[in-house]
Protein backbone atom coordinates (compact mmCIF):
# COMPACT_ATOMS: atom_id res chain seq x y z
CA UNK A 1 0.00 0.00 0.00
CA UNK A 2 1.00 3.66 -0.36
CA UNK A 3 1.82 5.72 2.73
CA UNK A 4 3.54 8.95 3.64
CA UNK A 5 6.55 8.57 5.94
CA UNK A 6 9.37 10.75 7.26
CA UNK A 7 12.81 9.12 7.32
CA UNK A 8 14.69 12.25 8.43
CA UNK A 9 12.80 15.08 10.18
CA UNK A 10 12.80 18.33 8.26
CA UNK A 11 10.78 20.48 5.88
CA UNK A 12 7.78 19.46 3.76
CA UNK A 13 10.14 17.76 1.30
CA UNK A 14 10.85 15.14 3.98
CA UNK A 15 7.34 13.72 3.45
CA UNK A 16 7.98 10.68 1.27
CA UNK A 17 5.39 8.56 -0.54
CA UNK A 18 6.51 4.96 -0.04
CA UNK A 19 5.28 1.41 -0.53
CA UNK A 20 4.80 -0.49 2.73
CA UNK A 21 3.10 -3.77 3.62
CA UNK A 22 -0.62 -3.59 4.25
CA UNK A 23 -1.09 -3.96 8.02
CA UNK A 24 -3.12 -6.63 9.79
CA UNK A 25 -5.33 -5.86 12.80
CA UNK A 26 -4.40 -7.45 16.09
CA UNK A 27 -6.71 -8.09 19.06
CA UNK A 28 -9.19 -5.20 19.63
CA UNK A 29 -7.86 -3.48 16.50
CA UNK A 30 -9.61 -2.53 13.27
CA UNK A 31 -8.18 -2.25 9.76
CA UNK A 32 -9.58 0.88 8.09
CA UNK A 33 -9.34 1.61 4.38
CA UNK A 34 -8.65 5.33 4.53
CA UNK A 35 -10.73 7.61 2.30
CA UNK A 36 -9.56 10.95 3.68
CA UNK A 37 -7.08 12.27 6.23
CA UNK A 38 -7.06 15.63 7.97
CA UNK A 39 -3.96 17.84 7.89
CA UNK A 40 -3.01 19.45 11.21
CA UNK A 41 -0.15 21.31 12.86
CA UNK A 42 0.54 18.26 15.03
CA UNK A 43 1.56 16.53 11.78
CA UNK A 44 4.04 19.36 11.17
CA UNK A 45 5.44 18.97 14.69
CA UNK A 46 6.14 15.25 14.09
CA UNK A 47 7.53 15.95 10.61
CA UNK A 48 10.01 18.55 11.90
CA UNK A 49 11.02 16.49 14.92
CA UNK A 50 9.58 18.94 17.45
CA UNK A 51 7.48 16.00 18.67
CA UNK A 52 9.78 13.02 18.92
CA UNK A 53 9.15 9.69 17.19
CA UNK A 54 11.41 6.94 15.89
CA UNK A 55 11.85 6.86 12.08
CA UNK A 56 10.31 5.93 9.81
CA UNK A 57 7.75 8.37 11.23
CA UNK A 58 4.12 7.72 10.34
CA UNK A 59 2.26 10.98 9.72
CA UNK A 60 -1.40 11.96 10.07
CA UNK A 61 -3.46 12.01 13.25
CA UNK A 62 -7.04 11.76 12.00
CA UNK A 63 -8.83 9.91 9.26
CA UNK A 64 -12.08 8.53 7.94
CA UNK A 65 -12.87 5.49 5.87
CA UNK A 66 -14.39 2.02 5.77
CA UNK A 67 -13.75 -0.93 8.05
CA UNK A 68 -12.10 -3.68 6.01
CA UNK A 69 -11.24 -6.20 8.71
CA UNK A 70 -11.54 -6.53 12.48
CA UNK A 71 -9.26 -8.25 14.95
CA UNK A 72 -10.14 -10.70 17.69
CA UNK A 73 -12.34 -9.25 20.41
CA UNK A 74 -13.75 -6.34 18.37
CA UNK A 75 -17.47 -6.00 19.15
CA UNK A 76 -18.58 -2.50 18.07
CA UNK A 77 -17.54 -2.57 14.40
CA UNK A 78 -17.81 -4.85 11.39
CA UNK A 79 -16.51 -4.78 7.80
CA UNK A 80 -18.30 -2.12 5.77
CA UNK A 81 -18.89 0.31 8.66
CA UNK A 82 -18.10 3.94 7.91
CA UNK A 83 -15.80 5.22 10.66
CA UNK A 84 -13.61 8.14 11.71
CA UNK A 85 -10.95 8.66 14.36
CA UNK A 86 -8.31 11.00 15.75
CA UNK A 87 -5.20 10.74 17.94
CA UNK A 88 -3.80 7.66 16.16
CA UNK A 89 -0.83 8.42 13.90
CA UNK A 90 -0.56 7.03 10.39
CA UNK A 91 -3.64 8.33 8.55
CA UNK A 92 -1.58 9.58 5.59
CA UNK A 93 -1.89 6.11 4.07
CA UNK A 94 -4.23 3.86 2.13
CA UNK A 95 -4.83 1.67 5.20
CA UNK A 96 -4.42 2.10 8.93
CA UNK A 97 -4.82 -0.13 11.97
CA UNK A 98 -6.78 1.70 14.65
CA UNK A 99 -7.71 0.60 18.19
CA UNK A 100 -11.42 -0.12 18.43
CA UNK A 101 -11.64 2.25 21.40
CA UNK A 102 -10.63 5.23 19.23
CA UNK A 103 -13.14 4.72 16.42
CA UNK A 104 -16.59 6.25 16.01
CA UNK A 105 -19.25 5.62 13.40
CA UNK A 106 -20.00 8.36 10.88
CA UNK A 107 -23.63 9.56 10.51
CA UNK A 108 -25.17 8.57 7.18
CA UNK A 109 -25.31 12.09 5.77
CA UNK A 110 -21.70 13.02 6.64
CA UNK A 111 -19.16 12.23 3.92
CA UNK A 112 -15.62 10.97 4.49
CA UNK A 113 -13.86 14.27 3.75
CA UNK A 114 -16.08 16.10 6.24
CA UNK A 115 -15.64 13.41 8.88
CA UNK A 116 -11.86 13.42 8.48
CA UNK A 117 -11.84 17.20 8.74
CA UNK A 118 -14.02 17.24 11.87
CA UNK A 119 -12.46 14.85 14.33
CA UNK A 120 -9.29 16.40 15.72
CA UNK A 121 -10.19 20.08 15.47
CA UNK A 122 -13.83 19.46 16.31
CA UNK A 123 -13.05 17.58 19.51
CA UNK A 124 -10.38 20.16 20.34
CA UNK A 125 -12.93 22.96 20.06
CA UNK A 126 -15.31 20.85 22.15
CA UNK A 127 -12.94 20.28 25.08
CA UNK A 128 -11.76 23.89 25.06
CA UNK A 129 -15.26 25.37 25.21
CA UNK A 130 -16.92 22.63 27.29
CA UNK A 131 -14.16 21.48 29.67
CA UNK A 132 -11.00 23.63 29.78
CA UNK A 133 -13.04 26.79 30.27
CA UNK A 134 -16.74 25.84 30.06
CA UNK A 135 -18.25 28.97 28.57
CA UNK A 136 -21.53 30.28 29.94
CA UNK A 137 -24.17 32.63 28.61
CA UNK A 138 -22.85 36.19 28.49
CA UNK A 139 -19.16 35.38 29.02
CA UNK A 140 -16.44 36.61 26.68
CA UNK A 141 -13.66 34.83 24.83
CA UNK A 142 -10.83 35.75 22.47
CA UNK A 143 -10.13 33.25 19.69
CA UNK A 144 -6.91 33.55 17.70
CA UNK A 145 -6.82 32.40 14.06
CA UNK A 146 -10.61 32.71 14.07
CA UNK A 147 -10.86 31.94 10.35
CA UNK A 148 -8.83 28.74 10.64
CA UNK A 149 -10.07 25.19 11.00
CA UNK A 150 -9.97 24.97 14.78
CA UNK A 151 -10.63 28.67 15.30
CA UNK A 152 -13.80 28.65 13.24
CA UNK A 153 -15.17 25.70 15.19
CA UNK A 154 -14.30 27.31 18.54
CA UNK A 155 -16.13 30.46 17.45
CA UNK A 156 -19.24 28.48 16.52
CA UNK A 157 -19.29 26.41 19.72
CA UNK A 158 -18.72 29.52 21.83
CA UNK A 159 -21.74 31.15 20.17
CA UNK A 160 -23.79 27.99 20.74
CA UNK A 161 -23.02 28.41 24.45
CA UNK A 162 -24.09 32.06 24.44
CA UNK A 163 -20.67 33.74 24.66
CA UNK A 164 -19.54 37.01 23.12
CA UNK A 165 -16.68 36.14 20.77
CA UNK A 166 -13.67 38.25 19.79
CA UNK A 167 -11.67 36.84 16.88
CA UNK A 168 -8.25 37.81 15.54
CA UNK A 169 -7.45 37.45 11.83
CA UNK A 170 -4.81 38.77 9.43
CA UNK A 171 -6.84 39.90 6.41
CA UNK A 172 -10.22 41.35 5.45
CA UNK A 173 -11.11 38.09 3.68
CA UNK A 174 -10.41 36.12 6.84
CA UNK A 175 -12.44 38.69 8.78
CA UNK A 176 -15.40 37.92 6.51
CA UNK A 177 -15.00 34.19 7.15
CA UNK A 178 -14.79 34.68 10.93
CA UNK A 179 -17.95 36.78 10.87
CA UNK A 180 -19.71 33.99 8.98
CA UNK A 181 -18.77 31.65 11.84
CA UNK A 182 -20.44 34.06 14.25
CA UNK A 183 -17.63 36.16 15.73
CA UNK A 184 -19.06 39.31 17.29
CA UNK A 185 -15.92 41.43 17.14
CA UNK A 186 -13.14 41.07 14.56
CA UNK A 187 -9.63 42.35 15.22
CA UNK A 188 -7.12 42.55 12.37
CA UNK A 189 -3.92 41.94 14.27
CA UNK A 190 -1.91 43.17 11.27
CA UNK A 191 -3.42 46.63 11.75
CA UNK A 192 -4.31 46.79 15.46
CA UNK A 193 -2.74 45.82 18.79
CA UNK A 194 -5.22 43.14 19.68
CA UNK A 195 -4.78 43.39 23.46
CA UNK A 196 -5.50 47.13 23.42
CA UNK A 197 -8.51 46.57 21.17
CA UNK A 198 -9.89 43.87 23.46
CA UNK A 199 -9.58 46.17 26.46
CA UNK A 200 -11.29 48.97 24.53
CA UNK A 201 -14.17 46.74 23.45
CA UNK A 202 -14.67 45.43 27.01
CA UNK A 203 -14.42 48.87 28.65
CA UNK A 204 -11.06 47.99 30.15
CA UNK A 205 -12.15 44.73 31.76
CA UNK A 206 -10.71 42.07 29.44
CA UNK A 207 -12.13 38.72 28.36
CA UNK A 208 -12.87 35.67 30.51
CA UNK A 209 -10.75 33.29 28.44
CA UNK A 210 -8.28 33.33 25.54
CA UNK A 211 -8.09 30.29 23.24
CA UNK A 212 -4.62 30.59 21.68
CA UNK A 213 -3.25 28.18 19.07
CA UNK A 214 -0.57 30.59 17.80
CA UNK A 215 1.88 30.65 20.70
CA UNK A 216 5.06 32.68 20.55
CA UNK A 217 3.84 35.80 18.73
CA UNK A 218 0.53 36.18 20.59
CA UNK A 219 1.24 34.87 24.09
CA UNK A 220 2.15 38.04 26.00
CA UNK A 221 -0.65 40.11 24.50
CA UNK A 222 -3.08 37.26 25.12
CA UNK A 223 -2.29 37.50 28.84
CA UNK A 224 -2.83 41.26 28.62
CA UNK A 225 -6.28 40.64 27.12
CA UNK A 226 -7.61 38.76 30.16
CA UNK A 227 -9.71 40.02 33.04
CA UNK A 228 -8.42 39.43 36.59
CA UNK A 229 -8.55 35.68 37.29
CA UNK A 230 -9.15 34.99 33.61
CA UNK A 231 -7.81 31.88 31.86
CA UNK A 232 -5.26 31.53 29.11
CA UNK A 233 -5.72 28.25 27.22
CA UNK A 234 -2.64 27.75 25.03
CA UNK A 235 -3.39 24.75 22.84
CA UNK A 236 -0.95 25.19 19.95
CA UNK A 237 2.17 26.97 18.74
CA UNK A 238 1.86 27.63 15.04
CA UNK A 239 4.24 30.61 15.36
CA UNK A 240 6.71 28.71 17.56
CA UNK A 241 7.04 27.65 21.21
CA UNK A 242 6.49 30.15 24.01
CA UNK A 243 9.64 31.07 26.01
CA UNK A 244 9.82 30.11 29.70
CA UNK A 245 7.48 32.13 31.93
CA UNK A 246 8.01 33.35 35.47
CA UNK A 247 4.81 32.37 37.34
CA UNK A 248 4.93 35.72 39.13
CA UNK A 249 3.87 37.25 35.80
CA UNK A 250 0.46 35.63 36.20
CA UNK A 251 0.04 37.31 39.57
CA UNK A 252 1.19 40.68 38.29
CA UNK A 253 -1.31 40.57 35.42
CA UNK A 254 -4.30 39.74 37.63
CA UNK A 255 -3.93 36.31 39.29
CA UNK A 256 -4.38 34.67 35.91
CA UNK A 257 -4.79 30.98 35.15
CA UNK A 258 -2.60 29.38 32.47
CA UNK A 259 -3.11 25.92 31.01
CA UNK A 260 -1.52 24.01 28.12
CA UNK A 261 -4.17 21.38 27.30
CA UNK A 262 -4.14 18.66 24.66
CA UNK A 263 -6.80 16.45 23.12
CA UNK A 264 -5.26 13.18 24.32
CA UNK A 265 -5.99 14.07 27.94
CA UNK A 266 -9.60 14.95 27.10
CA UNK A 267 -10.51 11.61 25.53
CA UNK A 268 -9.07 9.40 28.26
CA UNK A 269 -12.14 7.17 28.41
CA UNK A 270 -14.37 5.68 25.74
CA UNK A 271 -17.31 7.58 27.21
CA UNK A 272 -15.52 10.93 26.94
CA UNK A 273 -14.41 10.25 23.37
CA UNK A 274 -17.95 9.32 22.32
CA UNK A 275 -19.39 12.39 24.04
CA UNK A 276 -17.11 14.76 22.15
CA UNK A 277 -17.12 12.99 18.78
CA UNK A 278 -20.87 12.37 18.77
CA UNK A 279 -21.59 16.01 19.64
CA UNK A 280 -19.36 17.24 16.83
CA UNK A 281 -20.67 14.84 14.18
CA UNK A 282 -24.29 15.32 15.31
CA UNK A 283 -24.00 19.09 15.06
CA UNK A 284 -22.45 18.79 11.59
CA UNK A 285 -25.13 16.36 10.46
CA UNK A 286 -27.88 18.72 11.63
CA UNK A 287 -26.24 21.80 10.13
CA UNK A 288 -25.76 23.41 13.53
CA UNK A 289 -21.97 23.28 13.09
CA UNK A 290 -20.45 24.18 9.72
CA UNK A 291 -17.02 23.04 8.60
CA UNK A 292 -14.99 25.12 6.21
CA UNK A 293 -12.79 22.90 4.07
CA UNK A 294 -10.31 25.20 2.35
CA UNK A 295 -8.55 22.71 0.08
CA UNK A 296 -8.18 19.02 -0.67
CA UNK A 297 -5.09 17.25 -2.05
CA UNK A 298 -4.24 13.76 -3.27
CA UNK A 299 -2.12 11.72 -0.88
CA UNK A 300 0.99 12.18 -3.03
CA UNK A 301 0.73 15.98 -2.53
CA UNK A 302 1.04 15.89 1.26
CA UNK A 303 4.12 18.15 1.07
CA UNK A 304 2.09 20.83 -0.74
CA UNK A 305 -0.59 20.61 1.94
CA UNK A 306 2.04 21.16 4.65
CA UNK A 307 3.51 24.14 2.80
CA UNK A 308 0.08 25.71 2.52
CA UNK A 309 -0.71 25.05 6.17
CA UNK A 310 2.55 26.57 7.38
CA UNK A 311 2.13 29.61 5.13
CA UNK A 312 -0.74 30.76 7.38
CA UNK A 313 -2.56 31.81 4.19
CA UNK A 314 -5.29 29.19 4.37
CA UNK A 315 -8.72 29.70 5.91
CA UNK A 316 -10.27 26.45 7.05
CA UNK A 317 -9.34 22.79 6.98
CA UNK A 318 -6.92 21.04 4.64
CA UNK A 319 -7.65 17.40 3.79
CA UNK A 320 -5.82 14.65 1.91
CA UNK A 321 -8.12 12.57 -0.27
CA UNK A 322 -6.74 9.05 -0.25
CA UNK A 323 -9.34 6.98 -2.09
**Sequence ranges of the domains in the chain:** 2-120+267-321, 137-260
Give 175-204 pLDDT, tens digit per residue.
999 999 999 999 999 899 999 999 999 999
Split at pLDDT 50, 70, 90, the class of 315 is confident
Q: Enumerate the β-bridge partners of residue 317.
A: 293
> What pLDDT is recorded for position 22?
97
CB neighbours (10 Å) of residue 157? Answer: 25
Span 234-254, average pLDDT? 94
- Domain at 137-260: CATH architecture: 3-Layer(aba) Sandwich (3.40)
Contact between 113 and 36 under an 8 Å Cβ cutoff? The reply is: yes
Split at pLDDT 50, 70, 90, the class of 265 is very high
Question: Rounded CA gap, 44 and 60, in Å?
Answer: 9
Contact between 170 and 211 under an 8 Å Cβ cutoff? The reply is: no
CB neighbours (10 Å) of residue 52? Answer: 9
Contact between 318 and 39 under an 8 Å Cβ cutoff? The reply is: yes
Span 15-33, average pLDDT? 98
- Residue closest to 96 by CA, chosen among 119, 73, 123, 67: 67
- Domain at 2-120+267-321: CATH architecture: Alpha-Beta Complex (3.90)
The rounded mean pLDDT for the chain is: 96
Model pTM?
0.93
User: Going edge to edge, which strands form the sheet with 2-6?
Assistant: 15-19, 2-6, 57-58
What phi and psi values does residue 233 have, to the nearest 5 degrees?
-110, 100
Amino acid sequence: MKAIQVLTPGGPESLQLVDVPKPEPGPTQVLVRIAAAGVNFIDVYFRTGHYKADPPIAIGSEGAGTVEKVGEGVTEFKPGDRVAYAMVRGSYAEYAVVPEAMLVKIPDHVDFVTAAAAMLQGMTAHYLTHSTYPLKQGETCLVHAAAGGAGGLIVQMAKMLGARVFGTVSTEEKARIARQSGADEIILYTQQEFDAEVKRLTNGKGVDVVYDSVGKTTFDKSLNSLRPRGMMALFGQSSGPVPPLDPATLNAKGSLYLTRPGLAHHVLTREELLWRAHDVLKWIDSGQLKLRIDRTYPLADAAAAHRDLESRKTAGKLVLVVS
